Chain A
Amino acid sequence: MSDGRLDLDADSVGRDLVALVLTVLELLRQLMERQALRRIDAGGLSEEQVERIGTTLMLLDQRMAELCAQHGLRPEDLNLDLGPLGTLLPRD
């Protein structure tokens, strides 16, 4: 996926599919993080709720890292180049 071409052998297709699925999951996870920060900024969440949301998101982050490691993917592999629109996920 990274070099812009798809080689049609079973291994790489499987790996590309995993990368795509994980990319979508990572997008959702980052959206949830943003939403969480917005909710906190808006106020109205108790300290305990904030803590619980934060812990959940942190565990999700760890789980993502493990899934990536299992499939031999680096975090920066989880992205899509959308051409003039930039990339799907923000890059550091």
Chain B
Amino acid sequence: MTSPTVIYAFAVCRRCDPAALAGLPGLDAAAPVRTLAAGPLTAVVQDVPAADFAEDALRQRLTDREELERCARAHHEVIMAASAVTPTVPLPFATLYLGDARVRAALREKEESFLAALGRLTGRVEWAVKVYTAPAPLDSPSPSPTPSPARSPGAASALSPGTPPGTAPGTPAGSGRAYLERVRGRRQLRERRQNAALQAAERVDAVVRGLAVAARRLRPHGVEVTGAHRTHVLNAAYLVDSVRADELRATLEALRREETDVQIELSGPWAPYSFADGGVPR
């Protein structure tokens, strides 16, 4: 007796040699990752237990980070295997169908846009460029640009966190104003650094766009991903002709030398996750 299954769809390509998928565990190793043809298109799919992939069950499982990571990696692994042998449109994570007939119907229905996407992606790969603010200097320089010499000594001692409260009467004259000036200086410094980083990010984006056939700006990551010591200012994906990989790497090297205010990370080549949908936003 077999439990009911649903179809997990990983990717769509024109023709995919099933041998490329042999041995991949996919989402659930009980059934092999296989191909399913409909007209000029082929879907890469796997039968998975319906109970594990019902909406609630799936949502519940994916709140567990380890499980989410395992599933995302399995999804990615299959897409990479397919795209290694043929141009491939990755489908969104957790694309499910009730049965083979539904997959075929979906392929037929969106045949034109899949073929257009395959045409666009053939011979091209995705690269990701991330730009972060450089970590703040551990010991910020005196933020006050023009400290008044007469007030500096008081200002220096007033900052030490050990000063007990209730020393107000004893604080040197002018230290209150000096404190406010330090606050202002710190804010201005932060704003200058952030503006410099944002402008650097725009320059990086403009240069890399010049090499790409399509580009997408994604939402920058929050602190949880970047760590507290830096801010993510550019999260972009570029669709680049495969033959220009070396050119892209060299360009990024040059950008890293020029843009010293920011950290620039390049990753790839990826399957074209960010360019899989019908329209290319440009």
Contact = CB atoms under 8 A, between A and B. Distances in A.
A47 B148 CA distance: 15
Contact of B184 (A37, A59, A79, A91): A37
A87 interface: yes
A87 B176 contact: no
A54 B224 contact: no
Interface in B152-179: 158, 161, 163, 165, 167-168, 171, 173-179
Nearest to A37: B184
Interface string A60-92: 011101100100000010010101101100111
Contact of A40 (B167, B168, B175, B180): B180
B165 A55 contact: no
Interface residues of B, number: 28
A36 B176 CA distance: 12
B106 interface: no
Given A40-B180, A54-B180, A86 B228 contact: no
B178 A91 contact: no
B173 A51 contact: yes
A50 interface: yes
Nearest to B194: A90
A56 B179 CA distance: 10
A69 B174 contact: no
B257 interface: no
B176 A54 contact: yes
Contacts of B88: none
B219 to A, nearest CB: 6
Given A81-B222, A84-B219, A36 B165 contact: no
11 contacts: A33-B183, A37-B187, A50-B180, A54-B176, A58-B171, A58-B175, A62-B163, A84-B219, A91-B223, A91-B228, A91-B231
- Please name the 4 residue pairs, one residue from A and one from B, whose CB atoms are nearest each other, closest first: A54-B176, A55-B176, A58-B179, A65-B161
